[in-house]
Amino acid sequence: MVSTTLEVFSQTLRWLEQGSPVVLVTVVRTWGSTPRPVGSLLAIQPNTGDLVGSVSGGCVEEDIVRQVKAGTFTHPTVLKYGITQEHSQRLGLACGGSLEVVIEPLTQVESVKPAVIALAQRQLMARQVNLITGEVTWQPATREQSLQYDDTQLSCLLGPTWRLLLIGAVQVSRYLAEFALALDYQVIVCDPRSEYVSTWQVADATVTREMPDEAVKKFIQDSRSAVVAVTHDPKLDDLALLEALQTNAFYIGAMGSKHSSTQRRLRLLSLGISEEALTRLHAPVGIPIGSHTPPEIAISVLAEMTVVRKLF
């Protein structure tokens, strides 16, 4: 499952390779309640009005497409929506917020091709646009970077800016990995058991057969990381949790019933984890939506992770 960013850049590249110009739209600022966050993308083919991506959930796309088809944009341009009440009502910004977008006309394959390559390989890349000349340059990036924008320069961070370590290559992990990849996580799956690793099928997730505590030490290095243990085997899950609860990972979860979660907490306390540290453990993991099947459980876990991440 590809991320929405890769979907937009891949289609943009196909259009450019076919000789068609493309207009790329990037959300650079928001105020109040808006449907899409900063960094959201929309690509439009001027000749047909075909589009991929979204910058407002449908509120302003129609107006942007109208202007693109009319040939309004010949160089990078900034548009602001929802700045006045009349503007909001006319364009249907029902959420009441405001947003600012950069409109970027493209004709060269190299203006997007490095992004497609980097995103397909799960690498981080900064795409820099000179808003005066339209020139696009590329730089390696780190997860600590963010979108930067002023009157002359736009720098967008592309790639997996969050990391998820899954303990156990089980069926739930498969759906967790696929959904997390679509949300731009770098996904690592840890399972020392060969019988589980041998049937793993999510190609874009990294698989390691290290012991779980060693995997946590290796991969959980900052607060933009999450650990979810799903093996149901205390010998594996508890090893990971003992290490994870000593890190600053933004989310730490463990799958299991209320009873098994209580027993897990008692074991971790007996092994030296403090009561304060245990308050960070999400167990049973996920939002209680009545989930039973692996895809439902994965949805509930990613939903809870998203809530926690937005508060981060």
Confidence band of 95 (pLDDT split at 50, 70, 90)? low
Closest CA to 302 of 181, 170, 146: 181
**Is residue 98 pLDDT above 90, yes or no?**
no
- Whether 220 and 198 have beta carbons less than 8 Å apart is answered as no
- Domains parsed from the chain with CATH numbers: 4-123 (no CATH), 162-311 (3.40.50.720)
For residue 229, give both structure tokens: 């243990």
Q: How many CB atoms lie within 10 A of CB 37?
A: 11
Cα angle 246, 251, 255 (rounded to 5 degrees) comes to 100
The per-residue pLDDT for 85 is 53
**Is residue 103 pLDDT above 90, yes or no?**
yes
If phi over 0 gives left and psi between -120 and 50 gives alpha, with beta otherwise, what is residue 211? Answer: beta
Confidence band of 101 (pLDDT split at 50, 70, 90)? very high
| Of 216 and 92, the one with more pLDDT | 216
**Is residue 93 pLDDT above 70, yes or no?**
no
Task: Write down how long the chain is.
Answer: 312
**Reduced DSSP (H G I as helix, E B as strand, rest coil) percent helix, strand, coil of the chain, to 5:** 35, 25, 40
Residue 186's beta-bridge partner residues?
163
List pLDDT tens digits, range 269-306. 999 999 999 999 999 999 999 999 999 999 999 999 99
Q: How many CB atoms lie within 10 A of CB 129?
A: 22
**Is residue 312 pLDDT above 80, yes or no?**
no
